[in-house]
Amino acid sequence: MIEIARLPADDRRELFHNTAAKTGLHDAIVEKDFWVCLTLDYLFHRSPWKKAVTFKGGTSLSKGYHLISRFSEDIDLILDWRVLGYGINEPWEKRSNTKQDAFNKEANRKAEIFLAETFCPQVREGLSAELGLPANLYIDEEDKQTVIFAYPNLFTDASTLQVIRLEIGALAAWTPAELVDIVPYAAEQYPQLFKQKEVSVLTVAPERTFWEKATILHHEANRPEHLSMPQRYSRHYYDLYCMAKSPVKEKAFERLDLLQKVVDFKMKFYPRAWARYPEAVPATLKLLPPSYRLGALQEDYSAMRNMLYGEIPSFETMMEAVGELEKEIHAL
């Protein structure tokens, strides 16, 4: 994969442009997809922290499992908290609410320091050596647990950021996980140009991600009316809609223990009374938001449609399916 990154700019431009013409995707999206895959290849196979990270989130669902037809701009990574000096079970030790809150804040501060002082400089140095030019990596000032890689882009697109956001958190569960092969769009269309077409990445299993997404929807269903839903959150409804149409749904239904683990995790490390996590059990889990949220949610979905490809469900179809899924879960 690195041999493609080292090609002259005109050759890369031609490869990404021709791939875009074949796939119907924008040139900038094909280009960014390549750099996402190359970044994963470096992080999981040659970086000093290759044994300490696990891949999760929307990009894992699209690139790793082909469950969603959504181009995700970010790489969500779980950092093994042992890197920060904690024992494997230490974060789970019983504490008072006050002490747990202090622990959570301390863990996040430690993660920020590690990313700024160790991870980011080392990854910058490693990628620079591989690319043969300075890799532009830096910490996001708005979110200190996000490393930004401004890859050497040749194309621009208003709907796509020309940077890769590595969102890295230590307070996250990394099991169950499995090795998954990820292939750039360009390698799918022109395999003969790639010495290495795929990258094997340790990835959180989709049945856990199913329940992660379901509890996000439960959280949003209980959000107080005076608090706005975050931007681009309609992606979680879309992702769950897609997973509910796949065999992952039945696998998730067979692993209700994962739902309980997800809930326990959120209550311990991301507590929020109004989210009503204790009600996130099959009989009372909420997926549908209150009716007064639907207008804003539909606008949000319309704004992210350019990130979707293939068969794109209407907002009404998507929400109807989410409602049916809620009923199915209640019947478990």
Per-residue pLDDT of 1-46, as tens digits, reads: 999 999 999 999 999 999 999 998 889 999 999 999 999 999 999 9
| Residues 28, 14 share a domain | yes
Q: What is the pLDDT of residues 244-254, one digit of tens each?
A: 999 999 999 99
Closest C-alpha among 30, 118, 41 to residue 79: 118
| Residues 214, 172 share a domain | no
Side chain identity, residue 225: E
The pLDDT of residue 173: 83
% residues pLDDT > 70 (the chain): 100
The pLDDT of residue 175: 85
| Residues 220, 270 share a domain | yes
Q: How far is residue 81's CA from residue 91's CA, in Å, rounded to a whole number?
A: 9
| Residues 132, 93 share a domain | yes
Q: How far is residue 253's CA from residue 67's CA, in Å, rounded to a whole number?
A: 17
Closest C-alpha among 139, 131, 127 to residue 46: 127
Respond yes or no on whether the N-terminal peptide bond of residue 206 is cis (omega within 30° of 0). Answer: no
**Domain coverage including residue 262:** 206-330
| Residues 216, 187 share a domain | no
Domain count, the chain: 2
Q: How far is residue 18's CA from residue 12's CA, in Å, rounded to a whole number?
A: 10
| Residues 48, 197 share a domain | yes
| Residues 168, 27 share a domain | yes
Per-residue pLDDT at 72 exceeds 80: no
pTM, full prediction? 0.92
Q: What is the DSSP letter of 178?
A: E
Per-residue pLDDT at 161 exceeds 90: no
| Residues 282, 173 share a domain | no
| Residues 214, 191 share a domain | no
Q: How far is residue 177's CA from residue 262's CA, in Å, rounded to a whole number?
A: 14
Residue 269: other Cβ atoms inside 10 A: 20
The pLDDT of residue 212: 96
Residue 99: CA count within 13 A, CB half-sphere: 6
Domain termination residue (choose one: 141, 173, 204) = 204
The overall average pLDDT reported for the chain is 95
| Residues 212, 195 share a domain | no
| Residues 180, 146 share a domain | yes
The pLDDT of residue 166: 97
Instruction: Map tokens 């890197």 to a residue.
Output: 83
Could you tell me which residues come within 8 angstroms of residue 141 by beta carbon, excluding any fewer than 6 positions away?
Answer: none
The backbone torsions φ and ψ at residue 239, rounded to the nearest 5 degrees and listed phi first, read -60, -45
Domain termination residue (choose one: 141, 171, 204) = 204
| Residues 308, 193 share a domain | no
Per-residue pLDDT at 213 exceeds 80: yes
Phi and psi based region of residue 205 (left: phi greater than 0; alpha: psi -120 to 50; beta: remaining): beta
The backbone torsions φ and ψ at residue 21, rounded to the nearest 5 degrees and listed phi first, read -65, -35
The pLDDT of residue 172: 86
The pLDDT of residue 160: 77
Q: How far is residue 181's CA from residue 242's CA, in Å, rounded to a whole number?
A: 20
Per-residue pLDDT at 122 exceeds 80: yes
